[in-house]
Structure 1
Amino acid sequence: MRCTMKKFFVVFSIFLLAGCFIATPVARANEDTPDYQATVSTGFSMVNKTYDHFETDVFEMDSAVNNMLISVNAIKSESCLFRAYARFRYAKSGQWTKFLAFDSEYHFATIEPVAAYQLYFVVRDPMKGKTEVPSFTAQGVYIDEKLMEYVMQEPDSFEPEKIAPKPTVTSRQAWGARPPKSSYSQHVVQRLVVHHSWIPNQSQYKGALSIRGIQNYHMDDPKTGWTDIGYHFLIGPEGTIYQGRPETVVGAHASPNTNAVGICLIGDYDPGKDPIPPVMEKSLVELLTWLCSNYRVNPGVNIYGHCDYSPKSCPGQEVYKRLPQYRKDIIAVIGQK
């Protein structure tokens, strides 16, 4: 069924979002490998000035990509008004996009691949405080153009007969989340993507400690440096649902991330690895049911596994083969007008 789509996919899971790290012991998941990856030091800083700007070099990429995630490490004074801009050069036409504004994390998706990019920073500070932009990271992946056309098109309308109740979700405050580095980009929920963490697996899971470790990896690793944890929800083997990013903002888990909510099951669900706990499965179906009914997402066609976008096995073959049944269970609960 959907696994046949994998032949199209070499994704930039904005990548990489089965990526996981836990505080004790240190571990990292089998994240997707971007086609392009760079960590760039800018050396830009502003102090004792009310205004400054900085333009980077043009960065050429050896292979063209059609999905990029750019994360800017900006250390701002409280009075600072900071704005970053990015532009991209199309590989075939050689034409540049206009400069596109963002705060510190930018997701770019296009059907036609791009081969170069450039950043531009603008800083205003009436109090003349100190602002630095030590570095930024850029990750890019090429996805088959047919797949890009499919995922970027507007989904068919869906109206449930009833709205399912929201399951209990552990708040960010309750699990000790760090605040995001900057504001998020808003999006409209249209697709739901299921992942597994791979590492930590069930035996390594330490509750909220593991969730904080995943967030630390996503935010602090030199190759990522994202604004926040990449997923919108994470579910522990005991069934606890943790809130990651708000589901109404763009995440960082499966390119193109815009309009897609990422849900990560803690554990390794490839054959012969962790069993799927019924209590975790129950939490997943309840969460998917609420999301589908509340955001008018058609469960029959818009619930995916990460492997639908990537050559990785995520969310594990044991979970993936159950997705068709989950779709049927959800429709049975919420119906369709």
Structure 2
Amino acid sequence: MSRRCALVPWALLALLGLGAAQEDEPCCGPIVPRREWGAQASECVQSLNQPLRYVVVSHTAGSVCNTPVLCRQQAQNVQHYHKQTLGFCDVGYNFLIGEDGLVYEGRGWTSKGEHSGKSWNSKSIGITFMGNYMERTPPPRAIRAAKSLLACGVAKGALHPKYEVKGHRDVQQTLSPGDQLYEIIQTWPRHRV
């Protein structure tokens, strides 16, 4: 892909005041950096060995956000809950997907998350959709954002080209990522139980 494909979404983000293109990024969709959503400083020290073979998809089971302002606030709320209440070193997820169609950087590609239990956190990227998807589906723009993020992970070498997608319920006893979102990810070609 050409360098221009990365500039178009980043140009839109720049116009919205949500970030700027980075020269070393492969052709990736828009990712809102931590500083843009007001993340607290991370205290995490454990890194991930890349490329990773697994992606675990969850939902926050909390409030929906469908605008950049609401999604920034929701990302802050999730991080506050994870750090203050659960005692995590940061937000537990590597990336958070908003119904606004944007991806919010959590721990990013290189830091081990706290999203799927000890046996999975060290070998997977945790992606969560902000909202509760037991009885409703995320909008198509949120699904496109997640798929774009996965393609970005492969392009960056963070994800193995033959990575597998797991629903949170595939790796832990939970209702996450919600019945409706789980039905969607089961149709993805890389989903494996």
Shorter-chain TM-score range: 0.7 to 0.9
Find 1:235's aligned residue among 80, 93, 97: 97
Which has the greater radius of gyration? 1
Asked if structure 2 preserves the Cα contact closer than 8 Å seen for 1:233 and 1:264, the reply is: yes
SS, match of residue 96 in structure 2: strand
Find 2:48's aligned residue among 187, 212, 223: 187
Change (3 A) 1:246 1:328: closer
What is the aligned partner in structure 1 of residue 170 from structure 2? 308
> How big is the shift at 1:326?
2.3
The whole-number CA distance in structure 2 between the counterparts of 1:194 and 1:173 is 24
The whole-number CA distance in structure 1 between the counterparts of 2:56 and 2:113 is 11
Find 1:269's aligned residue among 106, 119, 133: 133
Matched, 1:219 2:80: no
The whole-number CA distance in structure 2 between the counterparts of 1:297 and 1:227 is 29
What is the aligned partner in structure 1 of residue 6 from structure 2? none
Identity over the aligned pairs, expressed in percent? 25
Structure 2 residue runs without a partner (length 5+): 1-25
1:1-337 to structure 2, matched below 5 A, reads 165-181=27-43, 183-188=44-49, 189-202=52-65, 206-221=70-85, 224-255=86-117, 256=119, 257-270=121-134, 273-293=135-155, 294=157, 295-299=159-163, 302-327=164-189
What is the aligned partner in structure 2 of residue 30 from structure 1? none
One-letter code of the match for 1:258? S
Length-normalised TM-score, structure 2: 0.75
> How big is the shift at 1:279?
0.6
Whose strand proportion is higher, 1 or 2? 1
The whole-number CA distance in structure 2 between the counterparts of 1:219 and 1:232 is 14
> How big is the shift at 1:267?
1.4
Residue-pair matches, total: 159
Structure 1 residue runs without a partner (length 5+): 1-163, 330-337
Whose helix proportion is higher, 1 or 2? 2
Change (3 A) 1:168 1:192: same
Asked if structure 1 preserves the Cα contact closer than 8 Å seen for 2:95 and 2:126, the reply is: yes
